[in-house]
A and B are shown apart, each in its own frame.
Chain A
Amino acid sequence: DTAVSQTPKYLVTQMGNDKSIKCEQNLGHDTMYWYKQDSKKFLKIMFSYNNKELIINETVPNRFSPKSPDKAHLNLHINSLELGDSAVYFCASSQNSGVGDTQYFGPGTRLTVL
């Protein structure tokens, strides 16, 4: 059974479109995250939710809007896609948001904006 799953795995779209990436975890964790990995393989946190509440919101364009319908899901909606949004997006979860919590990563979604 997959612990943290993301859909789709690959997403190719045109500039200006709106798209969503979904993430689900079946670990019973309270905290979920979205990370962006750029073409240089550098990972950066975007958002974190704890029990459906936003706790981390890094400097991310407001075209990116996370939505957490319940604590097992954290979806990422992106409006007006730009070329620079092309990256691999990773979802992750942890039991809590504290010091002792290992994060479990999803397989990633490779977004290509043409």
Chain B
Amino acid sequence: KNEVEQSPQNLTAQEGEFITINCSYSVGISALHWLQQHPGGGIVSLFMLSSGKKKHGRLIATINIQEKHSSLHITASHPRDSAVYICAALFSGSRLTFGEGTQLTVNP
């Protein structure tokens, strides 16, 4: 069983919708990363957070340490946001463990 669980696995939205992707982890972590993998395969780091909330453009990431849960929100979604979004938790010993990813498709 993976120590990092993401939901949903697949998500289809209409352009303009507000999107939430969830990530939960089993034990205490040092930090949590959100990554975006483009259809072409390239991986980009979106956020690294250990507490609170971060915002970059239309993307917002939050983390609740007590509940061992993080969310990635996309406001005013656009077809170019279509990608796989992956959360990864940094456990002790600098070991980054990945969730299975959420395939997001935003239709025009």
Interface residue range, chain A: 20 to 34
**B101 lies within 8 A of A101 (CB):** no
Interface of B (DSSP majority class): strand
In-complex Cβ contact of B98 among A42, A97, A99, A107 (8 A): A42
A43 CB to nearest chain B CB (Å): 4
Q: In the complex, how many residues of chain B place their beta carbon closer than 8 angstroms to a beta carbon of chain A?
A: 24
A34 CB to nearest chain B CB (Å): 12
Complex-state Cα separation, A6 to B97, whole angstroms: 22
Chain A residues, Cβ within 8 Å of B48: 100-102
A72-100 to B contact mask, C-beta < 8 Å, 1/0: 00000000000000001010100001111
**Residues of chain B at the chain A interface (Cβ within 8 Å):** 30-31, 33, 35, 37, 41-45, 48, 50, 84, 86, 88, 90, 93-98, 100-101
Q: Which 10 A-B pairs have the closest CB atoms?
A: A105-B43, A43-B98, A97-B94, A99-B30, A99-B31, A102-B45, A102-B48, A108-B41, A45-B96, A42-B100
